[in-house]
Structure 1
Amino acid sequence: MRGLVVAVGRGPGGAGQPVQHHVGEQQVPVHGVLRYQARFTLHVSAETAAERIAPATGALEPIDERSCTLRTGSDSLDELAIYVAGKGFDFEVHEPPELVEHVRVLAARFGRAAG
C-alpha cells in the first residue's frame, strides 16, 4: 500500500464542491459539505486503521508507527462518535468542540448503563 494522503472538507470551488480522497493512485470523490468536520487521533497505525475505514468515509494521516489522524464528517454527532468507537481502536476526539462534549455525555451515559 502506498501512503495515505487525503483531503476532506471544502472542495477547491468552495462549499458544496466535491473533495477528492487520494489513496495511493486512487481518487474517490466525496460529495457535499457535512455539518460537522471531525478530527480524531486513533491509537493504531494508519495501515491498520485503513483495513476498517473506507477511503470514502474519512482521511487517514500517519502520525507515527502506532497512531494516525482520522478526519471525517457527518451531519450527526451521534454518528461520528459511534462510528469511531465501533471500529475497536482507542481514540481521542479533538474537534469540533461540540463533538468533544458529546463524547463526554455519551461516555457518562454508557457508564451509567453498565452499572
Structure 2
Amino acid sequence: MAARRDGLAEWERGFALAGVVLVGLALAAVHWLGLLVGGAGVGLLARSWPRALAGGAGFGALAWLAFVAVLADAGRLAGYLASGQLLALSAGMAVGLGLVGGLAYGLRSAGSTA
C-alpha cells in the first residue's frame, strides 16, 4: 500500500485510532483526564482542524455513551436520566473535554508525518 501525503497508510491510521480510543476510554474510566488524552490522540491523528475537533467531540460522546451503558448495566439509568442538570452537565463535560483534547492537532508541526 502506498503511504498517503501525511505519512500513514489508511490501515495504519485505523489501527492507531482504534488503539487511541481504547486507551482513552480505559483512562476515562478511572479519571476525567482520560477524556483529554483520548481527544488529544484522536486530534493528533486527524488530517485537518475540523476533523480533529469533530473527532475529539466524537470521542467524548462515545465515552459518555459508554458511561450510560455502565449505568444501564448496573440498573441505575432511570435515576440518572431523571437527574436533569447532572445529565446535561456530564454529557457536556464529556463532549467538551474531548473537544478540548482535539485541539492537540495544533501541536503538530507543519511538516509532521504523523
Determine which structure has more spread, i.e. the larger CA radius of gyration: 2
Q: TM-score, normalised by structure 2?
A: 0.28
Q: Which has the higher helix share?
A: 2
By relative contact order (CA 8 Å, sep 6+), the higher-ranking structure is 2
Q: TM-score, normalised by structure 1?
A: 0.28
